[in-house]
Every structure is written in structure tokens, then in C-alpha cells.
Amino acid sequence: MERYRPDLLILDLAIPEMDGLQALPHLGRSIPGGRIIVISGFAPSTVEAEALRLGADRYVAKGTAAAEIRRVVLEVLSDRIS
């Protein structure tokens, strides 16, 4: 990850070998200045606050319309540029 320095990472919380919430702080340190959007099938009331506390910039529920996800991505990236 450090080699590529992405501007944006979209992280699903259901990943193999490590819980996505456990991975968030590590990923945040690996991409300083980068942004992280968490996407998950878990209800926002269950994990959204924890994801944001651990370093996610935004939380999007799976099943969100593509146009809304695009809007969130553009908003997060524009915050990075500002």
C-alpha cells in the first residue's frame, strides 16, 4: 500500500483474515493524507460511529445507489483538495 499512495481507499468491512475495523487504523497510517470510505452491509447504527472513530472519512451502506456513492466519493476527494 505504501508504494502506491492512493488518494482514496474504499474499504469493505467484510475482508478475509482481518476485520475491516481492525484494518482501518493500519490502513490510515499506510496512506497518510489519503481518504478512506467504508462500505458495509452492516447497519450504520451498528458500526458507522466506530468506523469514523477509527479513521474512516465516511461510511456508506451496501445497497446505496451508485449516484449517491459517486457523490460521496467526489465530496471526500474535494475535501482532500481543499
Largest Cα span, the chain: 35
Q: Where are the beta strands (DSSP E) in the chain?
A: 8-12, 35-40, 58-61
Cβ contacts of 5 within 8 Å, gap of 6 or more: 31, 33, 34
Considering the chain, what is the average pLDDT of its residues? 88
Question: Where residue 44 falls among pLDDT bands split at 50, 70, 90?
Answer: confident
Q: How confident is the model at residue 2 (pLDDT cuts 50, 70, 90)?
A: low
Please report the pLDDT score of residue 52 as a whole number: 95
